[in-house]
Structure 1
Amino acid sequence: MSTTTVNGISMHYEVSGDGPPLLLIAGLGSSSIAWTAAAPRLRESFTVITVDNRGTGQTEVPPGPYSIDDLADDTAALVEFLGLGPVSAVGWSLGGSVLQSMLIRHGEVLSKAVLLNAFPSYTAVQDAWLDTGLALRRSGADPVSIAITGMPWGFTPRLVSDHAAVTAQAELSRLDPHPTTLAGFEAQAAGLRIYDSRPDLPTVQTPTLVLTGAEDVLTPVSQSVEIAELIPTATLQVLPRGGHGMVLEYPDDTLAAITTYLTGKTS
């Protein structure tokens, strides 16, 4: 990966592939490693840009909290530094919040957007989910145990009922060479739980796909519907299978939907 300074912090990124530029923005506490499975397939059609968000991976971990607008400003500045814009972008979960902020405040750097398993603002259930995750991390619980505890929120019963598959997926957390620190996770979480894009979504002018799975229990379909109704340029697509981690559990359908929207070509 390469490094540059944006907004006063050192930010790591990688650019690879061939084709129109596509920016991938990961979720809460996740670095660019979240795209390890998806990026190689997307590189067949795009020049893929992956980033470690502020507080994750090899990017700097300044004192928090980090607002979602901070993360959006970082990413927009990176696109401008690279000189590849306007770019298409996919934002997954927290990455979807970052992308909403970019759509609102930095639309000039974006050509198309995909909001993947996104939400406009936190609900009481999401607050409770986040409180539990923070408590586990603050207790020093093993990363694999934390991953297993979160699995039912991210995957469907099809995967979660297969305990061998759950264990294998959770064990991947041990392979991260640059795991997110508690400080980085807390700083992102503090900004995420208070972010509310709804007042400004009607100003968005960039073509946007709001993509989710019918089985997402963490960011339910109703939240994607709300986003799509507020963005004048939005298209809503609900895949019949898949939860919050559908890009991992159902990669064929998810990546096909993303690629078809961004290229306008059906497979």
Structure 2
Amino acid sequence: MPYIKANKTNLYYEIHGKGNPLVLVTGYCGNTFNWSLILNDLKKHFQCLIFDNRGTGLSDVPDGTYSVEDMAADTIDLINKLGFKKTHIYGNSLGGAIVQTMAYKYSDQIDRVIIGNSTAKFNAQMLFAAKNFIDYYEKNSDLLEQAKLWLPILMSENFITHEANLKAYFENSINNPKPISLKGMIAQYAGMHTFDSRKWVDKITHRCLILSGDEDLICLPKESQYLHEHIKNSQLHIFKHCGHLPHIEYPQLNNEIIMNFLQG
């Protein structure tokens, strides 16, 4: 399996497809498995780099807590060591915080930016829910029960009221080949807790697409609107009847919007 030591951390990665490079950065507790519904189409148009952030999947789980800056530095070092000169970047949720940081701190190495269902500062309700999840995980590591706990705040009413969606969601959760450890969960949580881009987000000058869901209870639509208002060269798309994960609820539409932005 492919690994690269990036920023002193062994990161698991995969490269799919050919074309201009597109780096996909997962959210809290996520891993490469989370991109499975959109990867097959994207790799027909781009050279897609997917990887496990520090603390998740098959990557190292270093001691201590992780900042968003740590994870942005990991990602840019991985990109450099793979020989990519300039890349598009797409991150969801915590991944959206990471790509904001990359666009700000490593501006010359970034082409276009996609910030999916993210924020300039994670709100207190979201952080409280994530902390509850950590407390629950300490007592119950059953993947199905964890999926049930997250479902009502991750997904839209439309998604939850269709039995086929629930079946697929729970099957994918149970079959996750590399679920996060408690240690990694706690370490990544610290990064969300301390992240705050409000003092510098207006300095991002890249062409930027901001995605949101009108029923997102984790990163609220008004938080995506804030990013849109403060990133001058940005456009905002809000998915209707959608929660926190449009790439899972509406993978085809998600890809169409992304490709129109990146190829336009």
CA drift at 1:194: 1.6
Judge conservation of contact 1:23–1:50 (CA < 8 Å) in 2. yes
TM-score, with normalisation over the residues of structure 1?
Answer: 0.95
Alignment partner, residue 118 of structure 1 = 118
Q: 2:234 matched to 1:239?
A: no
What is the distance in 1 between the residues matched to 2:173 and 2:10?
24
The letter of the residue matching 1:146 is: Q
Judge conservation of contact 1:126–1:218 (CA < 8 Å) in 2. yes
The letter of the residue matching 2:35 is: W
Aligned residues: 264
CA drift at 1:95: 0.4
The letter of the residue matching 1:165 is: N
The letter of the residue matching 1:69 is: E
What is the distance in 1 between the residues matched to 2:64 and 2:256?
37
Q: 2:259 matched to 1:262?
A: no
What is the distance in 2 between the residues matched to 1:197 and 1:42?
29
Alignment partner, residue 148 of structure 2 = 148
The letter of the residue matching 1:257 is: I
- Per-residue CA deviation, residues 71-119 of structure 1 (Å, 9 max, x unaligned), is 0000011111111231001101110011111111111221001001111
Mean CA deviation greater in 171-180 or 181-190: 171-180
Alignment partner, residue 49 of structure 2 = 49
- Per-residue CA deviation, residues 150-185 of structure 1 (Å, 9 max, x unaligned), is 111111111212355324312322222222111011
Mean CA deviation greater in 96-105 or 152-161: 152-161
Matched residue of 2:4: which SS? strand
- Per-residue CA deviation, residues 112-171 of structure 1 (Å, 9 max, x unaligned), is 010011111121211221121111111124111111111111111112123553243123
- Per-residue CA deviation, residues 27-60 of structure 1 (Å, 9 max, x unaligned), is 1011111101111110111111001100111110
Identity %: 28
Mean CA deviation greater in 32-41 or 136-145: 136-145
Alignment partner, residue 221 of structure 2 = 221
Matched residue of 1:237: which SS? strand
Judge conservation of contact 1:159–1:166 (CA < 8 Å) in 2. yes
Alignment partner, residue 106 of structure 1 = 106
Judge conservation of contact 1:31–1:52 (CA < 8 Å) in 2. yes
Matched residue of 2:37: which SS? coil
**4+ aligned runs moved over 6 Å, structure 1:** none
Alignment partner, residue 59 of structure 1 = 59
TM-score, with normalisation over the residues of structure 2?
Answer: 0.96
Q: Gaps (5+ residues) in structure 2? A: none
